[in-house]
Amino acid sequence: MVKTKLIDGFPFVNYNKETFLAQETLKRSRDFYEWMNLRRTVRDFSDKPVPKGVIENIILTASTAPSGAHKQPWTFCVVNDPVIKKQIRTEAEKEEFESYNGRMPAEWLNDLRPLQTDWRKEFLETAPYLIVAFKRSYEPETKSDGNRQILHKHQNYYVTESCGIACGFLLAAIHHAGLVALTHTPSPMNFLSKVLERPENEKPFLLIPVGYPAEECWVPDLKRKNLHEISVWY
Binding residues (CB under 6 A) for ligand IYR: these are 96, 112, 115, 117, 184-187
Using the minimum distance from each CB to ligand IYR, give the nearer residue, 98 or 201: 98
Which residues have a Cβ under 8 Å from the Cβ of 169 and sit 6 or more positions away? 61, 62, 64, 65
Using the minimum distance from each CB to ligand IYR, give the nearer residue, 101 or 185: 185
Using the minimum distance from each CB to ligand IYR, give the nearer residue, 84 or 104: 104
Minimum distance between the CB of residue 149 and ligand IYR, rounded to whole angstroms? 42
Q: Are 71 and 122 in contact (CB under 8 A)?
A: no
Dihedral sign from CA coordinates of 45, 49, 50, 53: positive
Minimum distance between the CB of residue 79 and ligand IYR, rounded to whole angstroms? 17
E strand or H helix at 115, and its extent?
Answer: none
Minimum distance between the CB of residue 74 and ligand IYR, rounded to whole angstroms? 21
Using the minimum distance from each CB to ligand IYR, give the nearer residue, 57 or 99: 99
Q: Are 91 and 144 in contact (CB under 8 A)?
A: no
Rounded to whole angstroms, the Cα distance separating 205 from 188 reads: 11
Minimum distance between the CB of residue 11 and ligand IYR, rounded to whole angstroms? 44
Using the minimum distance from each CB to ligand IYR, give the nearer residue, 77 or 206: 206
Minimum distance between the CB of residue 96 and ligand IYR, rounded to whole angstroms? 6
Buried b (16+ CB within 10 A) or exposed e, 105-137: eeeeeeeeeeeeeeeebebbbbbbbbbbbbbbe
